[in-house]
Amino acid sequence: MNRSDLTFYFLGKKYGYNLRKMVEFVNENQYWDNKDIEEYQTEKMIQLIHHAYNNTIYYKEVLDKLALKPKDFQSLADLKMLPIIGKADIRDRWKDLVATDYQKYRPMHRVTSGTTGQTFQYYNDSKSWALNWATKMRTFSWGGYTFGKDKIATLKGGSMLRKAKQSYKSRFWKYLNNYYDLPVINLTNESMEEYYNEIISNKIKYLRGFPTAVYAFAKYIYETHGTLPFKATFTSAEYLQDFQREQIIKTFGTNHIDAYGCGDGMGGANQCDKTAGYHVNIETSILEVINEQGGYCDAGEQGEIVLTSLHDYAMPLIRYTPGDVAVVGKGHCSCGRTLPLLKKIVGRTSDLIYLPNGRILNGIAIPFADWVDKIDKFQIWHTEIDKIELKVIPKPTLTQKDIEYMHEIMAYHLGEGIGIKVDIVDDIPLLPNGKFKYVISKVDNIGK
């Protein structure tokens, strides 16, 4: 038993869960067939809806208004009888969503800034939090990393490193779990050189972080030192682009595992070493992918993720959309696991720009990211309803002709009646939480 196992053992004793059994559970059911998965999720959904109806003002009001009773929910398809809710709904009805008996579930109060910069608060039950950790440990094991036993460097910020000045409790947690924090708020050549030396001196063989941060570090290492072998690298919390993955693999010489996670809806989907798709965590939530008509997306179709957190009773969130977009996968992965697949995590609805001419622009799909030999970083600003600004940090190879071509690309994607400005800048800062955002909007998206 490593020191991390011991920590979770005592936490489990205090808060009423057994993490070891949870890990055994998720490792077993990654090979369940569709019938087993459906039965498990249906049972948990029925229990949750009964609880929400009897213990929250919001869900009793919703079901009564629709002339529904908890007994009307007998299959996963019945979830569609309930409306989808978003962050604004939860902020408006916060008190009505918190269960009357919420304290018995040892709730953990969470705050996230999200992608809009607005704070968003929610509760996670302690057992739900632990089960989510079990699924993370399963994903880590797919890369050969044993949580708490192996040393891991973490290139993160904000919600993953919490604060610049960490509490004793936070520092102790990281010591117990063999974390080596490498803050990314001010990621400079000097700091990355320091991180490089720290990784070598401590013989760290695993790396985890935000995609933009891990990519920047990989790029610096490759240009300065060549390669830096790791046993596995992991990213999460941002959209991972193909050129970023390629650089990470080229520098670190390893299979790279990307993950999608949503703590407020307890949704999760993670790649394995085959990287053919994202295995959905069926244990923590029901994950739907919904098209614009409100129906389920078929394999290969893109839609909005809708989550029902199966084990959060202090503050039930049923059919909650965090604003994430994904493409539905088909069949099962060649690794042999039978968990449902997402083909691709596309990004967030906040990366979409709705224009008055009827077009919808997905900012992270603009092909400038492929110009890695000419551009260091780019960001799209929706400054006015009919005006778009492209901020670009250039490399010395970027020419005026390239800039004019960028303008042409933007004009092609944006259509008629939209003003375009290409702005060459020295720096594009990260958000306060250490993440990078491809699209910054200063206007209300009229098509939402």
* The predicted structure's pLDDT at residue 233: 97
The residue that leads in pLDDT, 84 or 157, is: 84
Query: What number is the average pLDDT over the span 263-288?
Result: 95
Is 335 in contact with 277 (CB distance < 8 Å)? no
pLDDT at residue 161 is higher than 60: no
Contact at 8 Å (CB) between 239 and 211? yes
For 103-164, give the DSSP string.
Answer: GGG--EEEEE-TTTS--EEEEE-HHHHHHHHHHHHHHHHHTT--TTTS-EEEE--GGGT--S
Spatial contact of 54 and 316, defined as CB atoms under 8 Å apart: no
Sign of CA pseudo-dihedral 223, 224, 229, 231? negative
The pLDDT score that the predictor gives to residue 115 is 43
Write the class of the CATH domain 355-441. Answer: alpha beta
Residue 2: pLDDT band by 50, 70, 90 thresholds? low
**Which SS3 state, helix, strand or coil, does residue 401 take?**
helix
Q: Would you say residue 251 has pLDDT above 90?
A: yes
Mean per-residue pLDDT, 86-94: 88
Report the distance separating Cα 150 and Cα 157, nearest Å: 21
Q: Which tokens belong to 309?
A: 């957190």
Residue 366 pLDDT greater than 80, yes or no? no
Mean local confidence (pLDDT), 159-168:
44
Residue 268: in which H helix or E strand, if any? Answer: strand 267-270
Query: Residue 118 has what pLDDT?
Result: 43
Least reliable range by pLDDT among 28-37, 267-276, 357-366: 357-366
Higher pLDDT, 446 or 296: 296
* pLDDT at residue 11 tops 90: no
Arithmetic mean of pLDDT, 272-280? 93
Residue 158: its pLDDT value, please? 41
Query: Looking at 1-5, 206-210, 330-334, 396-400, which range is the least confident one?
Result: 1-5
Q: Is the pLDDT score of 370 beyond 70?
A: no
Q: For strand 256-262 and strand 232-236, is the pairing parallel, antiparallel, or unpaired?
A: parallel
45 token code pair:
């959904």
Q: How far apart are the first and last CA of the chain?
A: 50
Instruction: State the Cα–Cα distance between residues 256 and 113, nearest whole angstrom.
Output: 27
- Name residues whose C-beta falls within 8 Å of residue 258's C-beta, 6 or more positions apart in sequence: 211, 234, 235, 236, 240, 245, 270, 271, 275, 278, 345
Of 206-210, 226-230, 323-327, 428-432, the poorest mean pLDDT is in 428-432
Q: Identify the residue with better confidence: 366 or 302.
A: 302
Write down the pTM of the prediction. 0.80
Lowest mean pLDDT of 166-170, 234-238, 408-412, 423-427, name the range: 166-170
Give 306 or 350, the one with higher predicted confidence. 306
Contact 438, 239 (CB under 8 A): yes
Mean pLDDT on 107-120: 62
Q: Which of 148-162, 192-206, 266-280, 281-295 has the lowest mean pLDDT?
A: 148-162
pLDDT number for residue 160: 34
Query: Which carries the bigger pLDDT value, residue 197 or residue 216?
Result: 197
Poorest-confidence range of 148-162, 332-346, 379-393? 148-162
Helices H / strands E in the chain, number of each = 12, 19
Residue 352: which of 325, 322, 317 has the closest Cα? Answer: 325
pLDDT at 26: 97
* DSSP secondary structure letters along 332-387: --TTS--S-EEEEEEEEGGGEEE-TTS-EEEGGGSGGGG-TTTEEEEEEEEEETTE
The rounded distance, in Å, linking the Cα atoms of 287 and 341 is 11
Q: What is the pLDDT of residue 128?
A: 96
Residue 21: its pLDDT value, please?
A: 95
Residue-wise pLDDT for 233-249, tens only, equals 999 887 788 888 999 99
Q: Tell me, what's the pLDDT at 270? A: 96
Which band of pLDDT confidence, cut at 50, 70 and 90, is reported for residue 138? very high
180-184, 258-262, 314-318, 345-349: segment of lowest average pLDDT: 345-349
Q: What is the pLDDT of residue 110?
A: 85
* pLDDT value for 363: 63
Average pLDDT, the chain: 87
pLDDT digits (tens, 9 = 90+) for 181-207: 887 755 678 888 999 999 999 999 999
Q: Could you give the CA distance from residue 353 to residue 37 in angstroms, rounded to a whole number?
A: 37
pLDDT recorded at residue 166: 55
Given a cut of 50, is residue 164 above it in pLDDT? no
Whether residue 333 has pLDDT greater than 60: yes
